[in-house]
Amino acid sequence: MNQKQKKMLARILAAAALLVLLALAPVPDGPTGLGLYMIPYLVIGYDILLKAGRGILNRQVFDENFLMAAATVGAIALGDYREGVAVMLFYQTGELFQSCAVNRSRRNISQLMDIRPDYANVEGEHGLERVDPDEVAVGTVIVVQPGEKVPIDGVVTEGRAALNTSALTGESLPREVQPGDDIISGCINLNGVLKIRTTREFGESTVSKILDLVENSSSKKSRSERFISRFARYYTPAVCYSALALAVLPPLALLAMGQAPAWGDWVYRALTFLVISCPCALVISIPLSFFAGIGGASHAGVLVKGSNYLETLAGTRYVVFDKTGTLTRGVFAVTGVHHNRMEQEQLLEYAALAESFSTHPISRSLKEACGKPLDEKRVTEVEEISGSGVTARVDGIPVAVGNGKLMSRLGVEAVPCHQVGTVVHVAVDGVYAGHILISDQVKPTSARAIQELRKAGVRKTVMLTGDAEPVARQVAQELGVDEVHSGLLPADKVDRVEALLARKGAGEKLAFVGDGINDAPVLSRADIGIAMGALGSDAAIEAADVVLMDDDPMKIVTAIRIARKCMRIVYENIVFAIGIKLVCLLLGALGIANMWAAIFADVGVMVLAVLNAIRALIVEKR
């Protein structure tokens, strides 16, 4: 409990003790009894009266503070001192409970916020110096000792260690790193001293992006939240006027018929009606459900940028995948060099040099296969042709490295490859020089993820890739994907997604999952864009609505299940809260429900709805 909650608890206990004493002791009627009951009433309710007064002065009258103040003051005015104090006491108890529940949800997200580093170790004249991570420039070598957080993204230059990535990915299995490995901020070094050359500024690092996503998620409200906000705006004035009508019109009608008006009875019914009508359960539990859902997802390594995306994700019936880096590891290896018209080593060197400025996984595999340091000064006039390959000059000689489309574009006749894999054709000085066969590996969880998506209610899975048809078809068959489209440029992927969007039914949502910079347009076009965040490009993460922190396709299933559970809880709370309210309002208007039933309808329903809402924090491990 924080200090504010402790003070509220003390007020509740003091007011409850005073109310019990007054209930047990003989209290005289009249001003003395009123004065005695006003002590616990003001102890527990003075802040509600102040808020109601400020609302009236600011012309924002109709809120829960006004409803509680009007109902309890009215009950006391009718001589029901005990009920007036009890209603305020139970209302404040419910408010305290709700505050504690929200704090619990916030603490869950605060665990994620613990990844924010306090300092970075930089080697100085007098040994290691602790500096603000914001002050560390790109290219600086920082030192991370055992037990410390990695403050900035970079590459390990020296040392080996195991990293705890649970705050980012939700997985407890440590990740081993060694010189040459990329490392992301937010991990905790479990053992060994690491020297890391930073590749980004702190503001652009993974940890900063994660914190920014989580902190801003509440600004993007779902349709359900917007509905509740509009509902409360009209609902509260409506019930206030209804209560006024209930207090005045029936007595006047009885008076007109020559009967006793029973003003006290009808005013009491109107006050009961006011207490019952308080929309706390809806106004509090619906945003809390989404907040808890986003918190639970964050703890599982799934970052959802807003509750509106959580709502859309729950309706996903089509999932479209990019192939490389999404369903496959994106770790390519050269498995053969065929039809080469020069030495194999020379062909690989030309290809690696031409691709030396690219960050594509295929480029990395060519550099590794070359097996020696590359002098990038030998390379000029580099042009990367999206979806086709790269052209450059190596030692002044034109070199083209890419797929069959690039060869056709350059007027070079390519020799087809009869083995399954990614074929990289090479032309040197305008003449075909051979092709390099590169193979990618399917991620171990991809096939299971496709199966689990079907179990989760996804109607169709689709794979889009720029790879050749034989490679794409083999991967699709291995994974059990329903539909596959190959040889696509980035613009073609958008067209395919447009066609799928036109085919899907009303209320069905389409999710696209990708990781590369060329996936950014289609991530933005889909109903919900999901980026493989841990190794994905910045552009893909910026364009996506959901970011998976460890590139595991099973996290897509986790995200959809969390979203659907959250939406179930939201609908349960809406139906439960409105249903109980309507029944109790009817009973209150008929005089069947008294003030005690009213306080259950308000505080009791709110407590039950909040308890239900925080279930969204619990993520089932599978």
Do 413 and 521 lie in one domain? The reply is: no
Supply the pLDDT for residue 537: 55
Contact 44, 11 (CB under 8 A): yes
Supply the pLDDT for residue 81: 82
Supply the pLDDT for residue 91: 77
Which of these is catalytic: 63, 80, 153, 322? 322
In a domain, 117, yes or no: no
Q: Is the pLDDT of residue 221 over 60?
A: no
Domain with 546 in it: what CATH number?
Answer: 3.40.50.1000
In a domain, 601, yes or no: no
Domain boundary among 562, 578, 608: 562
Do 514 and 428 lie in one domain? The reply is: no
Do 511 and 478 lie in one domain? The reply is: yes
Q: Which long-range contacts does 581-587 make (Cβ < 8 Å, 24+ apart)?
A: 581/276, 581/277, 581/279, 581/281, 581/605, 584/276, 585/239, 585/273, 585/276, 585/277
* Most trustworthy range by pLDDT among 174-183, 515-524, 554-563: 554-563
* Between 79 and 436, residue with greater pLDDT: 436
Supply the pLDDT for residue 1: 66
In a domain, 495, yes or no: yes
* Between 104 and 34, residue with greater pLDDT: 34
In a domain, 514, yes or no: yes
Q: Total structural domains in the chain? A: 3
Q: Any bridge partners for residue 436, and if so which?
A: 337, 424
In percent, the amount of the chain with pLDDT more than 70 equals: 87
Supply the pLDDT for residue 194: 92
Supply the pLDDT for residue 462: 93
CA 208 to CA 529: how far, in whole Å?
A: 20
CA 362 to CA 331: how far, in whole Å?
A: 8
Domain with 178 in it: what CATH number?
Answer: 2.70.150.10
Order the strands of the 161-164 sheet from edge to edge. Answer: 175-177, 161-164, 188-189
Looking at 16-20, 489-493, 535-539, 569-573, which range is the least confident one?
A: 535-539
In a domain, 586, yes or no: no
What range does the domain containing 410 cover? Answer: 333-439
In a domain, 373, yes or no: yes
* Most trustworthy range by pLDDT among 90-94, 153-157, 578-582, 604-608: 153-157
Do 416 and 427 lie in one domain? The reply is: yes
Do 340 and 419 lie in one domain? The reply is: yes
Do 532 and 480 lie in one domain? The reply is: yes
Do 166 and 185 lie in one domain? The reply is: yes
In a domain, 115, yes or no: no
Supply the pLDDT for residue 318: 93
Do 361 and 405 lie in one domain? The reply is: yes
Do 543 and 492 lie in one domain? The reply is: yes
> DSSP string covering 116-135, please?
S-S-EEEEETTEEEEE-GGG
Q: Mean pLDDT over residues 538-559, rounded?
A: 80
Do 447 and 526 lie in one domain? The reply is: yes
Do 459 and 318 lie in one domain? The reply is: yes
In percent, the amount of the chain with pLDDT more than 90 equals: 15
In tens, the pLDDT along 517-538 reads 667 788 888 889 888 865 445 6
Supply the pLDDT for residue 547: 84
In tens, the pLDDT along 330-380 reads 767 788 888 888 888 889 899 999 888 877 777 878 888 887 888 888 989
In tens, the pLDDT along 369-411 reads 887 888 888 989 988 887 788 999 999 999 999 888 899 989 9
Do 397 and 457 lie in one domain? The reply is: no
Domain with 384 in it: what CATH number?
Answer: 3.40.1110.10
Contact 553, 597 (CB under 8 A): no
Q: Mean pLDDT over residues 241-246, rounded?
A: 84
Supply the pLDDT for residue 370: 83
Mean pLDDT, the chain, integer? 81
In a domain, 182, yes or no: yes
Q: Which of 556, 575, 80, 8 has the alpha carbon at shortest distance from 313?
A: 556
Q: Which long-range contacts does 94-100 make (Cβ < 8 Å, 24+ apart)?
A: 94/280, 94/602, 94/603, 94/604, 94/606, 94/607, 95/8, 96/5, 96/8, 96/9, 96/12, 97/607, 97/610, 98/280, 98/284, 98/288, 98/606, 98/607, 98/610, 99/4, 99/5, 99/8, 100/1, 100/5
In tens, the pLDDT along 450-471 reads 999 999 889 999 999 877 788 8
Q: Mean pLDDT over residues 475-503, rounded?
A: 87
* Between 104 and 615, residue with greater pLDDT: 615
Domain boundary among 401, 416, 439: 439
Q: pTM for the complete prediction?
A: 0.65
Q: Is the pLDDT of residue 475 over 90?
A: no
Indicate if 550 belongs to the active site.
no
In tens, the pLDDT along 117-136 reads 778 899 877 778 888 888 88
